[in-house]
């Protein structure tokens, strides 16, 4: 009998890294003959990622990011019922809200569970980190296996000394890249690219301040993404008179086009797990400029594949951008090394092999 896999996601309104991660794994496992069902909160655009007809995508009633005791109880009871009914071989939850509900349900049922936070909730700037950390520590008591996407995530939870090391694993994110990187671009303007949702996590203020310092240089920053703070960003660019330096594209499905047309990838952010957008840019042969947070230093080698700057340091970000503006030859050198790092460490096949080893261990009752 083929293995049955249940994936859980909290939200369907944001086309983020966790959603792409689950979509990629679901597609691969389904093609290998496994029966895959994805249970998700809402009916948003994330559902469009699941193009494989063999993958069942269903909605968990009342599941959302917001805390609502009554609605959360309904969602929990539904999750509990689905696990009882499906009797899955693998249960894997992604992101914190649904991760809590699924882990409690599996604990009560005596079922092994895999939880992938995709960035701990207590990493988030502006949130009550002490409360979130306490919640995550308590939830480890209900966890079978925690898969961290970076060594930084693993270190953060193990530092509390309440987790058995055998149950905390690191599996780096991996991305599928179909095409080889482009040849050097002959554009007169150097194109920077950032692909990110306009949410509190991403630090567009620092990016815009850095661009302002370099307004006399010849370059354009291309921003791809949607989100609740996009209008604020548009107004900020207008107020700073940066309209000739920043282009907004909204949500796009042809991301590869921008990665191949761009020269340098930027990610200005407040917190991260292991950002898939950087991995995808590395696969396209782009140098990286990014904030030194979370697992980003595990992706970017300073002075070899890109440059890192401290959070909210717009002057440091401007200096990083200026290095490539002043010496375009570095772009090809850094880009080649970036692509090589991707091939060795962050290609999708590496990630898939690690997950398959984990699933095999569960199916063989070794965990």
Q: How do residues 316-347 score in pLDDT, each as one tens digit?
A: 999 999 999 999 999 999 999 999 999 999 99
What pLDDT score does 201 carry?
93
Instruction: Give all strands (DSSP E) within the chain, no chain letters.
Output: 4-9, 35-40, 56-59, 90-94, 114-116, 145-148, 168-170, 190-195, 219-224, 246-250, 264-267, 288-291, 306-309
Of 108, 169, 3, 162, whose CA–CA distance to 100 is shortest?
108
Of 165, 171, 62, 72, whose CA–CA distance to 118 is shortest?
171
- Confidence bin at 160 (pLDDT 50/70/90): low
One fold for both 4-174+347-363 and 190-346? yes
Report the SS3 class of residue 325: helix
Mean pLDDT, rounded, of the chain: 90
> Residue 194 to residues 259, 306, 342: CA-CA distances in angstroms?
9, 14, 18
What pLDDT score does 177 carry?
74
Burial-class residue 185 by CB neighbours within 10 Å (0-12, 13-18, 19+).
middle
pLDDT at 166 over 50: no
pLDDT at 129 over 70: no
pLDDT in tens, 94-114: 999 999 999 999 999 999 999
Q: Positive or negative CA dihedral for 237, 242, 243, 245?
A: negative
pLDDT at 127 over 60: no
Of 42, 47, 59, whose CA–CA distance to 23 is shortest?
47
What's the average model confidence in pLDDT over 216-220? Answer: 94
What pLDDT score does 169 carry?
93
Q: Which two tokens stand for residue 311?
A: 């959070």
What's the average model confidence in pLDDT over 30-59? Answer: 92
Specify the range with the lowest mean pLDDT, choosing from 27-31, 120-124, 208-212. 120-124
- Confidence bin at 165 (pLDDT 50/70/90): very low
- Confidence bin at 178 (pLDDT 50/70/90): low
pLDDT at 115 over 80: yes
pLDDT in tens, 229-280: 999 999 999 999 999 999 999 988 888 888 888 899 999 999 999 999 999 9
pLDDT in tens, 47-86: 988 877 899 999 999 999 888 999 999 999 999 999 999 9
* ∠ CA 122-298-227, rounded to 5°: 50
The answer as to CATH 3.40.50.2000 being correct for domain 190-346 is yes
- Confidence bin at 128 (pLDDT 50/70/90): low
- Confidence bin at 164 (pLDDT 50/70/90): low
Cα 143 to Cα 101: distance, rounded to the nearest angstrom: 11
pLDDT at 2 over 60: yes
Q: Which residues contact 265 (CB under 8 A, 6 or more apart)?
A: 192, 193, 194, 259, 277, 278, 281, 286, 287, 288, 289, 290, 306
pLDDT at 1 over 60: no
Which CATH architecture does the domain made up of 4-174+347-363 adopt? 3-Layer(aba) Sandwich (3.40)
Cα 357 to Cα 246: distance, rounded to the nearest angstrom: 44
What pLDDT score does 189 carry?
56
Q: Positive or negative CA dihedral for 108, 110, 116, 120?
A: positive
pLDDT at 39 over 80: yes
Q: Which residues contact 238 (CB under 8 A, 6 or more apart)?
A: none
Domain ranges of the chain: 4-174+347-363, 190-346
What pLDDT score does 181 carry?
54
């Amino acid at each position: 009998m083929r293995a049955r896999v249940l994936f859980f996601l909290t939200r369907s309104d944001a086309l983020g890294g966790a959603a792409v991660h689950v979509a990629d794994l679901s597609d691969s496992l389904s093609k290998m003959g496994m029966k895959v069902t994805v249970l998700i909160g809402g009916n948003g655009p994330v559902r469009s990622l699941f193009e494989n007809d063999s993958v069942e995508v269903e909605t968990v009633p009342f599941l959302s990011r917001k805390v609502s005791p009554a609605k959360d109880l309904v969602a929990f009871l539904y999750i509990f019922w689905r696990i009882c009914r499906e009797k899955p071989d693998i249960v894997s939850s992604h992101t914190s809200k649904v991760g809590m509900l699924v882990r409690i349900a599996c604990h009560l049922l005596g079922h092994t569970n895999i939880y992938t936070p995709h960035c701990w909730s207590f990493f988030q700037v502006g949130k009550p980190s002490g409360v979130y950390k306490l919640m995550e520590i308590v939830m480890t008591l209900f966890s079978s296996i925690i898969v961290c996407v970076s060594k930084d995530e693993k270190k953060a939870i193990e530092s509390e000394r309440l987790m058995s090391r055998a149950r905390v694993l690191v599996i780096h994110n991996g991305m599928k890249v179909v095409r080889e990187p482009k040849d050097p671009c002959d554009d007169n303007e150097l194109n920077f690219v950032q692909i990110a949702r306009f949410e509190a996590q991403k630090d567009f203020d620092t990016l815009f301040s850095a661009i302002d310092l370099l307004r006399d240089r010849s370059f354009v920053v291309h921003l791809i993404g949607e989100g609740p703070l996009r209008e604020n960003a548009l107004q900020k660019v207008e107020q700073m008179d940066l309209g000739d330096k920043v282009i907004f594209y909204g949500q796009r499905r042809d991301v590869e086009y921008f990665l191949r047309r761009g020269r340098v990838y930027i990610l200005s952010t407040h917190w991260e797990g292991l950002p898939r957008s950087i991995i995808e840019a590395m696969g396209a042969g782009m140098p990286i400029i990014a904030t030194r947070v979370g697992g980003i230093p595990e992706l970017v080698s300073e002075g070899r594949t890109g440059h890192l700057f401290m959070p909210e340091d717009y002057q440091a970000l401007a200096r990083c951008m200026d290095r490539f503006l002043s010496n375009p030859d570095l772009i090809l050198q850094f880009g080649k090394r970036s692509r090589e790092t991707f091939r060795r460490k962050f290609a999708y096949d590496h990630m898939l092999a690690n997950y398959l080893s984990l699933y095999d261990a569960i199916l063989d009752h070794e965990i």
